[in-house]
Amino acid sequence: MKVAAWRQARALLWVGITLVILLGIFVLGGVVAIPGLPSPSLDLRSLAPWIYIIPILVATKALLEVLRPVFRAALRSHVRYEADIFAHFQLVSYVVWGTAIALVLFVLLGGGTQGYSLLGTGLVTAALIYVLQEPLLNIVGWVVLVTMGLYKLGDRIEMNQTKGYVVEISPMNTTLREFGGLLYGDSFTGRYVTIPNSQVLKGNVFNYTKDTPFVWDQLTVSITYESDHKVAEKLILEAAEDVVGPMMRENRGQLRSKYEFADLADYIPEEPRVGWGLKDSSVDLTLVYFCPVFAKGGYRTRLVKRVLEKFANEPRVEFAYPHMQMVPSEEKKVSVVR
């Protein structure tokens, strides 16, 4: 409720600022007369082009602040997640701001004033491009990520060696609520990370939730060479069937509908699988499965508990772990004559 009240107050504030600016312009221009006050004789053309630009920008901001709660209320019954609602509203805001900037450029190029020439505007633009190279790269990165749909509000991404939940996208940067790092199971760290949008052009962007909310994960279990390896594999698959098997089969169709090519179904594991590997002092059995990205830590914990329960009841399987074993020498014992 406090957030909603703050948003309403902010919208009223911007509407008030817009009305004050417009009233001031009308009064100074002699369009509106206030009883008891002398009519000013100010030539508004001397204030061009800002007499047009400032009202355009302030009115655009006020319009978006008013539309935000209206847009949220209209889509609340049709869109499941609030992050998706604000992602749609952000696209609308881009269109509105693009229209406002086009009007500003029209004014600067002489459409609404006689004081600005095309040459002067060109020189100013060239100087701004030279000085604002990095901010312009951020804007270009923003255009790329919006037009190509690299990520949106509510997506879980990894960019610039940082994992996070996208909570804000602006023309300058992207704000993430960080998860993972040194914490277990991709838990939120409580930190916010601000990444310049230019990183979209300079590095890789990993999106965990672009088409489906599922990601693949693996759990490696190390057992001794003396263990019965086939029994161990069987127990791991039974544990996977208890924890993730039904969920994987239920969502297999949703995954296949997102494959770019049909033959990907032959290469991407859609059932729990176990891979074998050899280490110096153990045989590694690695379980591969997929699960919802938001619950990866929970599924991993349940799998570990289930594997421990299975192995505890099977004497033919033993975990391998770092330890030192003393092996007695086979040399003959030497008797000491007293």
Which pLDDT belongs to residue 318?
93
Q: Is residue 334 part of a domain?
A: no
More confident of the two residues 11 and 30: 11
Domain check: are 307 and 275 in the same one?
A: yes
| Number of domains forming the structure of the chain | 3
Domain check: are 90 and 121 in the same one?
A: yes
Taking CB atoms within 8 Å and a gap of at least 24, the contacts of 164-167 are 164/193, 166/83, 167/83, 167/192
Which pLDDT belongs to residue 273?
94
**At 292, is the secondary structure helix, strand, or coil?**
strand
Asked if 176 and 157 touch (Cβ cutoff 8 Å), the reply is yes
Domain check: are 11 and 102 in the same one?
A: yes
Domain check: are 173 and 200 in the same one?
A: yes
Which pLDDT belongs to residue 338?
47
Domain check: are 200 and 219 in the same one?
A: no
Q: Would the pLDDT of 321 be above 70?
A: yes
Q: Would the pLDDT of 108 be above 90?
A: no
Q: Is residue 10 part of a domain?
A: yes
**At 238, is the secondary structure helix, strand, or coil?**
helix
Structural domain that includes position 253 = 214-312
Confidence of residue 20 (pLDDT cuts 50, 70, 90): confident
- Strands (DSSP E) along 31-172, which ranges? 156-159, 162-169
**At 11, is the secondary structure helix, strand, or coil?**
helix
Which pLDDT belongs to residue 46?
67
Q: Is residue 273 part of a domain?
A: yes
126-158 residue pLDDT tens: 655 655 567 778 888 998 998 898 999 899 999
CATH of the domain at 281: 3.30.70.100
269-293 residue pLDDT tens: 889 999 999 998 899 999 999 999 8
254-264 residue pLDDT tens: 888 888 887 88
